[in-house]
Chains A and B, each alone.
Chain A
Amino acid sequence: MPRRKATVAVFAALALAGCTTDKPPAAQSSAPAASTDQTGQGSGTGTQSKFFVQADFDAQLAMRSQTPQGPDGKPWEQAITPQMTDTKTFKKDGPYHLCFSNAAVNNPWRQVGWKTMQAEVGLHKEITEFTALDAEGKDDKQISDIAELQAKGCDALIVSPNTTATLTPAVKGACGKVPVIVFDRGVETDCPVTFIKPIGGYLYGADAADFLVEKVPDGGKVLALRISPGVDVLETRWSAAKTVFDKSRLQVVGVEFTDGDAAKTKSIVNDYIQRYGKIDGVWMDSGGTAVAAVEAFEDAGLPVPPVTGEDQQDFLQKWKDAKLTAIAPTYPTYQWRTPIIAALKILKGEEVPKVWNLPQPKITEETLPTYLQPNMPPLHYALCGCEDLPGFPENWGGKKS
Chain B
Amino acid sequence: MKRALPILAVLVVLLAAIAFVNPFFLEPAGFLAFAKRAAPLVILAAGQYFVIVSGEFDLSVGSLVTAEVVIAARLIDGEEPATWPVIALLIVIGLLVGLVNGVVTTKLRVPSFIVTLGMLLVLSGAVFLWSGGAPRGALSEGFRAFGRGGLGPVPWSVLILLAVGAAAIWLMRADFGKTLMVAGDNERAAALSGVRVHRVKIFAFMLSGLAAAVTAILLGGFAGVSAQVGQGLEFSAITAVVLGGVVLGGGRGSVLAAMAGAFTLEALFTLLNLYGISGALEFTVQGVIIIVAVAAGAVRLPWKFTPRKGDAHAAS
A residues adjacent to B (C-beta < 8 A): 2-7, 9-14, 16-18, 20-22, 24-25, 36, 38, 41-43, 105-108, 110-111, 254, 256-257, 259-268, 270-271, 274-275, 277, 291-292, 295, 299-300, 314, 377-379, 397
Chain A interface, >50% SS class: helix
Chain B residue at minimal CB-CB distance from A277: B24
Contact call B224/A291, Cβ cutoff below 8 A: yes
A–B Cβ pairs within 8 angstroms, 14 of them: A7-B248, A7-B249, A10-B57, A10-B248, A17-B117, A18-B235, A22-B228, A38-B280, A107-B133, A108-B134, A257-B280, A262-B224, A266-B222, A295-B148
| Nearest CB of chain A from residue B68's CB, rounded to whole Å | 14
CA distance A317 to B136 in the complex (A): 16
CA distance A18 to B231 in the complex (A): 9
The listed residue (B128, B135, B238) touching A379 by CB distance below 8 A is B135
Q: Does B6 have its Cβ within 8 Å of any Cβ on chain A?
A: no
Contact call A105/B222, Cβ cutoff below 8 A: no
Q: Does B298 have its Cβ within 8 Å of any Cβ on chain A?
A: yes
* Chain B residues closer than 8 Å to A41, beta-carbon distance: 276-278
* Chain A residues closer than 8 Å to B111, beta-carbon distance: 9
Check A274/B133 contact, CB under 8 A, given A4-B298, A14-B59, A21-B232.
no
CA distance A43 to B124 in the complex (A): 37
* Chain A residues closer than 8 Å to B270, beta-carbon distance: 271
Q: Does B201 have its Cβ within 8 Å of any Cβ on chain A?
A: no
Chain B residue at minimal CB-CB distance from A258: B279
Interface string of B103-135 (1 = CB under 8 A from A): 000000001011011001100100010001111
* Chain A residues closer than 8 Å to B138, beta-carbon distance: 314, 377-378
Q: Does B176 have its Cβ within 8 Å of any Cβ on chain A?
A: no
The listed residue (B59, B229, B273) touching A13 by CB distance below 8 A is B59
Chain B residue at minimal CB-CB distance from A110: B133
Contact call A106/B133, Cβ cutoff below 8 A: yes
Chain B residue at minimal CB-CB distance from A6: B249
Check A259/B298 contact, CB under 8 A, given A10-B113, A108-B134, A111-B133.
no
Chain B residue at minimal CB-CB distance from A30: B133
CA distance A377 to B290 in the complex (A): 41
B residues adjacent to A (C-beta < 8 A): 21-22, 24-25, 30, 33, 37, 55, 57, 59, 62, 111, 113-114, 116-117, 120-121, 124, 128, 132-138, 148, 219, 222-226, 228-229, 231-232, 234-235, 238, 247-250, 270, 273-274, 276-280, 283, 290, 294, 298
Contact call B222/A3, Cβ cutoff below 8 A: no
Contact call B274/A107, Cβ cutoff below 8 A: no
Contact call B280/A7, Cβ cutoff below 8 A: no
CA distance A378 to B136 in the complex (A): 7
| Nearest CB of chain A from residue B130's CB, rounded to whole Å | 13
* Chain B residues closer than 8 Å to A261, beta-carbon distance: 223, 226, 228-229, 231
| Nearest CB of chain A from residue B190's CB, rounded to whole Å | 13
The listed residue (A22, A108, A263) touching B124 by CB distance below 8 A is A22
CA distance A7 to B297 in the complex (A): 11
CA distance A148 to B217 in the complex (A): 45
* Chain A residues closer than 8 Å to B62, beta-carbon distance: 17, 21
* Chain A residues closer than 8 Å to B59, beta-carbon distance: 13-14, 17
| Nearest CB of chain A from residue B166's CB, rounded to whole Å | 25
Contact call A107/B134, Cβ cutoff below 8 A: yes
* Chain B residues closer than 8 Å to A24, beta-carbon distance: 228, 231
Contact call A263/B229, Cβ cutoff below 8 A: yes
The listed residue (A2, A17, A257) touching B55 by CB distance below 8 A is A2
* Chain A residues closer than 8 Å to B148, beta-carbon distance: 295, 299
CA distance A89 to B250 in the complex (A): 73
The listed residue (B113, B229, B290) touching A9 by CB distance below 8 A is B113
Contact call A17/B120, Cβ cutoff below 8 A: yes
Besides the known contacts A261-B228, A270-B37, 5 further A-B residue pairs in the complex with CB atoms under 8 A apart: A17-B120, A259-B228, A299-B148, A377-B137, A397-B136
Chain B residue at minimal CB-CB distance from A313: B138
CA distance A42 to B234 in the complex (A): 29
CA distance A292 to B294 in the complex (A): 37
* Chain A residues closer than 8 Å to B33, beta-carbon distance: 270, 274, 300
CA distance A108 to B133 in the complex (A): 7
* Chain B residues closer than 8 Å to A4, beta-carbon distance: 298
Q: Residue among A7, A14, A107 with the most chain B CB within 10 A?
A: A14
CA distance A274 to B135 in the complex (A): 31
The listed residue (B22, B37, B235, B279) touching A17 by CB distance below 8 A is B235
CA distance A257 to B111 in the complex (A): 37
* Chain A residues closer than 8 Å to B134, beta-carbon distance: 107-108, 111, 379
CA distance A97 to B90 in the complex (A): 46
CA distance A110 to B134 in the complex (A): 9
The listed residue (A5, A25, A43, A257) touching B279 by CB distance below 8 A is A257
* Chain B residues closer than 8 Å to A271, beta-carbon distance: 270, 273-274
CA distance A20 to B219 in the complex (A): 22
The 8 lowest CB-CB distance pairs between A and B, nearest first, are A42-B276, A36-B280, A3-B249, A108-B134, A262-B223, A263-B223, A13-B113, A6-B249
Chain A residue at minimal CB-CB distance from B25: A274
| Nearest CB of chain B from residue A277's CB, rounded to whole Å | 8
Contact call A16/B117, Cβ cutoff below 8 A: yes
* Chain A residues closer than 8 Å to B135, beta-carbon distance: 379
Contact call A2/B228, Cβ cutoff below 8 A: no
* Chain B residues closer than 8 Å to A378, beta-carbon distance: 137-138, 225
CA distance A270 to B114 in the complex (A): 38
* Chain B residues closer than 8 Å to A22, beta-carbon distance: 124, 128, 228, 231
Chain A residue at minimal CB-CB distance from B297: A3
Q: Residue among A259, A263, A275 with the most chain B CB within 10 A?
A: A263
Contact call A20/B121, Cβ cutoff below 8 A: yes
Contact call B117/A13, Cβ cutoff below 8 A: yes
* Chain B residues closer than 8 Å to A111, beta-carbon distance: 132-134
Chain B residue at minimal CB-CB distance from A14: B235
CA distance A40 to B291 in the complex (A): 30
Contact call A2/B249, Cβ cutoff below 8 A: yes
* Chain B residues closer than 8 Å to A277, beta-carbon distance: 24
Contact call B249/A20, Cβ cutoff below 8 A: no
Contact call B57/A9, Cβ cutoff below 8 A: yes
CA distance A281 to B87 in the complex (A): 36
Chain A residue at minimal CB-CB distance from B219: A263
Contact call A274/B136, Cβ cutoff below 8 A: no
The listed residue (A12, A20, A265) touching B223 by CB distance below 8 A is A265
Contact call A10/B226, Cβ cutoff below 8 A: no
| Nearest CB of chain B from residue A241's CB, rounded to whole Å | 19
| Nearest CB of chain B from residue A3's CB, rounded to whole Å | 3
Chain B residue at minimal CB-CB distance from A296: B223
Contact call A21/B231, Cβ cutoff below 8 A: yes
